[in-house]
Structure 1
């Protein structure tokens, strides 16, 4: 009987994947059905973008910082990574070259295999590492980048700091994001905004959040959110390229409603304006001037147009 849930086309078919130190066809990059991570969600990953620069040479954006965060996530989760950072960086650039990508999204993942058996506690286990890549356009759509999105505050709260360690980008914690995203998309919105367990604005389902209000830009502190690479990039851009003050402090839900602008940042979402939250128009009701200015600066940087930020680019030659 045909599996009715099987897709007719897979965007990854025909690509090369780096897996456990070797390059294999995507179709041969197999994971055991009793992989511990598949059953219990213990794993860490990164989402990384490679952009075609103005010179025509692809460049991976902030590769060093992404790999540092991957290793930090594994340290927090007590997963031993069987490769050095340089080996994984080299695997990433080689995956881009082998697949002949000019632009792509890159996914390194560290997970636990099946050698330790199943059960919550595992004493001895095998750590597996893979790197895949594929073309992925604007995460929330091209129109979202131009005009902004509609968002809704989710009924699902973000984890308390002692419930799950949010400084790690770990696989299992994204169930929280999946539920929040599905909840709001099913009623017609584009993205979910999540509050922490104290009721303060935390982040979106897969993005950090900023507001512009009264001439100042605010974003929640790292104590309550994932340390986003794009978040860090935008803060540096604001401080270097504008005269706007940036504050990392708590944001209440009603502050969102009365903000002049709201925008999201993330590797997938890049810099995406928010035009509406909970049926309330934000500012002028479309992408704001500051959001679009920061978006323009960001895209110029990732495409190699601003030499001040050349350190953020790893060219794939």
Structure 2
């Protein structure tokens, strides 16, 4: 159901009252940061689980630090605000929470210091962000922004214009998604997803130095691949042509979840179908996020509705 309320600057208010001025610094200059957090409905338990909520808010506060921002909330308070908002909205379905911290002053002039830091949290129903049965990708002509230009470790609002260029180019060229390279020509990530290649019996993924977002779903894939499938992950530079030779490829992120890639630059990945390793990772992931693995649920899944 559509959200009835949102949280803005210390209070829960009607969703249609969540308005900012057109003069807001964060709107004019992209001086804000955000998270995307998924909640998954478990029909059997009549419970909604917010996935890796703590890690998302820890990363939000790190992004704020990079942007010279300070929120008046602890991680515990941010977690409580999230569960309370979903309860207030009475949502019994898959949802997507978007906390945004932004410079709220209404001034002209680009800077980060001596500005007011505002905060808003919304919760909306959301299904699949990208196709999860097989993506056809194209390597983008747009390069991933460098950490010294726009820090990749922070989810900075303005930086997603870079992703938008790549995604629109891919869609207009007939692909489902883009794969971006660094300025050195190494594989970085998708338009808004981390990337893994399965090759020679191991997972390979670009290292943090390749201008990637340190993804929470990326970390989840690494952990479950090793613990449940016995597959190690190697973080290293990845050449573009390795995409053409990989046995399997996946893109992952909170929005994308785990999305198999079956084609890159009109070349089939492996057999051109979803491979067994990615399929097993995907199945295990969707069981975890819905609270079906108690050994993970206690650590990673925050229940919304109290029993």
TM-score, normalised to structure 1's length?
0.92
Equivalence map 1:155-174=2 (5 Å): 155-174=141-160
Paired with 2:204 and 2:233, the residues of 1 have a C-alpha distance of 6
- Partner secondary structure for residue 157 of structure 2: coil
Partner of 2:49: 59
Paired with 2:102 and 2:113, the residues of 1 have a C-alpha distance of 15
- Partner secondary structure for residue 283 of structure 2: helix
Of the three residues 13, 27, 34, the one matched with 1:45 is: 34
Equivalence map 1:107-186=2 (5 Å): 107-115=98-106, 117-121=107-111, 123-140=113-130, 144-146=131-133, 148-186=134-172
Structure 1 gap segments, 5+ residues each: 1-10
Partner of 2:62: 72
Paired with 2:226 and 2:50, the residues of 1 have a C-alpha distance of 23
Aligned-residue CA RMSD (Å):
1.3
Shift of 1:27: 1.3
What whole-Å deviation, never above 9, does each CA across 1:99-134 have from its counterpart, x for those lacking one? 11122010000001125x220135432111010011
- Partner secondary structure for residue 294 of structure 1: helix
Q: How many residues get paired?
A: 301
Deviation above 6 Å: which 4+ runs of structure 1? none
Structure 2 gap segments, 5+ residues each: none
Whether the 8 Å CA contact 2:136–2:264 is kept in 1: the answer is yes
Paired with 2:300 and 2:241, the residues of 1 have a C-alpha distance of 35
Paired with 1:122 and 1:108, the residues of 2 have a C-alpha distance of 19
What whole-Å deviation, never above 9, does each CA across 1:271-310 have from its counterpart, x for those lacking one? 0000101010110101111111000000111111111102
Partner of 2:195: 209
Shift of 1:161: 2.2
Partner of 1:299: 286
Partner of 2:18: 29
Paired with 1:212 and 1:289, the residues of 2 have a C-alpha distance of 10
1:163–1:123: structure 2 CA closer, same or farther, 3 Å change rule? closer
